[in-house]
């Protein structure tokens, strides 16, 4: 079996905001790897730190501790100008709100091609050709380049955002809840577009969302994050079949069911972190099964392990 190639390696990452007196740790000792060509999902409620991780990889947020490695090279903290330029091209981000992330005063041609200007000199003809190609790749007409963002629907604006990322010819794309601001009827179109582009271009995704039903459709592995700490990580179908952490179970219970009777009669689980007793027995990253990990102390892990084995 061919060993998977690690593209992104996060080691003991901590991201904090505020002053020393009023310090808020948004991401606390997070570690995981993203393999080349896969879609890795990070899921959690609002404020859990999932977007912060993506922005730290993009170097939008500085890191307090830990390492972020891309193709084996450290990219957080102070890096060389040449590496910074390389990262700017190879790592791109699709933002959550397509209206807020696009410059309303600029035409689509400028919005999509702006990143190219940071890579060196490029003629106007070359720029226009690459914009045309990028728009075609996301299903938009070339003549849209002369219009402003407010002239488009939400789904079209998000496609413009995707074109802006694609024109840089990236290897790795961070998709920060790219469909949450879209109508339900448009969401599947954008997900199918991302899936097609991944197959055609060999892209690797970090997909950030709070909706596990969406994650099941597009991701290969999922990390569940709560208050800046990853509490469970597994392959997608493994996580759905055998969720073990109480927070993961609570998230799964919130997924709407297509059957209205079943939806009305289902039991919603509420996660209460006070159920953990970590005063003396501290939690650590434990292996439940091959590629299935959970945050637990010794007492909890024994119970999780027993429940896991009995349910398989």
Query: pLDDT per residue over 237-294, tens digit each?
Result: 999 999 999 999 999 998 888 888 888 888 899 999 999 999 999 999 999 998 999 9
pLDDT of 60 > 60? The answer is yes
Q: What domains does the chain contain, in order, with CATH numbers?
A: 6-243 (3.40.50.300)
What does the pLDDT read at residue 184? 78
Q: What percent of the chain has pLDDT over 90?
A: 73
Handedness of CA 289, 293, 294, 297 (dihedral sign): positive
Would you give the distance in Å from CA 210 to the centre of its chain?
10
**151: three-class secondary structure by DSSP:** helix
What is the Cα–Cα distance from 158 to 274, expressed in whole angstroms?
Answer: 40
For the chain, the distance separating the N- and C-terminal CA atoms, rounded to the nearest angstrom, is 24
pLDDT of 1 > 60? The answer is no
Q: Where are the alpha helices (DSSP H) in the chain?
A: 50-57, 81-90, 108-113, 124-137, 154-166, 184-201, 212-218, 236-241, 246-253, 260-265, 298-311
**Is the pLDDT higher at 39 or at 187?**
39
What is the Cα–Cα distance from 268 to 271, expressed in whole angstroms?
Answer: 10
What does the pLDDT read at residue 296? 97
Query: pLDDT per residue over 87-115, tens digit each?
Result: 999 999 998 887 788 989 999 999 999 99
| pLDDT band per the 50, 70, 90 thresholds, residue 2 | low
Closest CA to 245 of 291, 307, 290: 307
- Residues 39/198, Cβ–Cβ less than 8 Å: yes
Phi first, then psi: give them for residue 109, nearest 5 degrees: -55, -45
Mean pLDDT value across residues 184-213? 90
Cα–Cα–Cα angle for 110, 112, 115, rounded to 5 degrees: 90
- Residues 13/42, Cβ–Cβ less than 8 Å: no
| pLDDT band per the 50, 70, 90 thresholds, residue 303 | very high
What is the Cα–Cα distance from 224 to 210, expressed in whole angstroms?
Answer: 10
What does the pLDDT read at residue 252? 93
Count, in order, helices (H) and strands (E) of the chain: 11, 12
* Average pLDDT value for the chain: 92
Closest CA to 51 of 261, 208, 156: 208
pLDDT of 41 > 90? The answer is yes
Q: Which residue matches tokens 């690797």?
A: 204
What is the Cα–Cα distance from 48 to 54, expressed in whole angstroms?
Answer: 12
**115: three-class secondary structure by DSSP:** helix
**Is the pLDDT higher at 22 or at 221?**
221
What does the pLDDT read at residue 185? 77
What is the Cα–Cα distance from 69 to 47, expressed in whole angstroms?
Answer: 24
Paired with 224 in beta bridges are: 43, 232
Which helix (H) or strand (E) is 173 found in, with range? Answer: strand 172-176
Mean pLDDT value across residues 148-166? 92
What is the Cα–Cα distance from 272 to 24, expressed in whole angstroms?
Answer: 21
What does the pLDDT read at residue 93? 94
pLDDT of 179 > 90? The answer is no
Query: pLDDT per residue over 270-283, tens digit each?
Result: 999 999 999 999 99
Paired with 39 in beta bridges are: 205
pLDDT of 154 > 90? The answer is no
């Amino acid at each position: 079996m061919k060993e998977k190639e690690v593209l992104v390696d996060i080691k003991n990452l901590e991201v904090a905001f505020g002053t020393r007196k009023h310090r808020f740790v948004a991401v606390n000792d997070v570690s995981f790897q993203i393999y080349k060509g896969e879609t890795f999902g990070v899921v959690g409620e609002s404020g859990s730190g999932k977007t912060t991780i993506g922005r730290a990889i993009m170097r939008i947020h500085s890191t307090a501790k830990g390492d972020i490695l891309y193709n084996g090279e450290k990219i957080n903290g102070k890096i060389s100008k040449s590496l910074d330029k390389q990262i700017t091209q190879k790592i791109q981000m699709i933002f959550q709100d397509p209206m807020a992330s696009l410059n309303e005063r600029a035409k689509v041609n400028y919005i999509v091609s702006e990143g190219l200007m940071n890579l060196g000199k490029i003629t106007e003809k070359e720029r226009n050709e690459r914009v045309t190609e990028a728009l075609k790749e996301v299903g938009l007409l070339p003549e849209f380049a002369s219009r402003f963002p407010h002239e488009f629907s939400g789904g079209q604006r998000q496609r413009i955002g995707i074109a802006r990322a694609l024109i840089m010819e990236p290897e790795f794309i961070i998709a920060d809840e790219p469909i949450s601001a879209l109508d339900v009827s448009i969401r599947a179109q954008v997900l199918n577009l991302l899936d097609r582009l991944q197959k055609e271009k060999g892209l690797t995704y970090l997909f950030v969302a709070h909706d596990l039903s969406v994650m099941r459709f597009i991701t290969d592995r999922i990390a569940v994050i709560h208050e800046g700490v990853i509490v469970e990580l597994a392959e997608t179908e493994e996580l759905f079949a055998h969720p073990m952490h109480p927070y993961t179970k609570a998230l799964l219970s919130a997924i709407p069911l297509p059957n209205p009777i079943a939806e009305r009669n289902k039991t919603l689980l509420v996660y209460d972190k006070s159920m953990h007793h970590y005063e003396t027995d501290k939690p650590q990253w434990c292996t439940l099964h091959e590629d299935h990990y959970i945050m637990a102390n010794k007492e909890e892990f024994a119970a999780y392990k027993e429940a896991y084995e009995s349910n398989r």
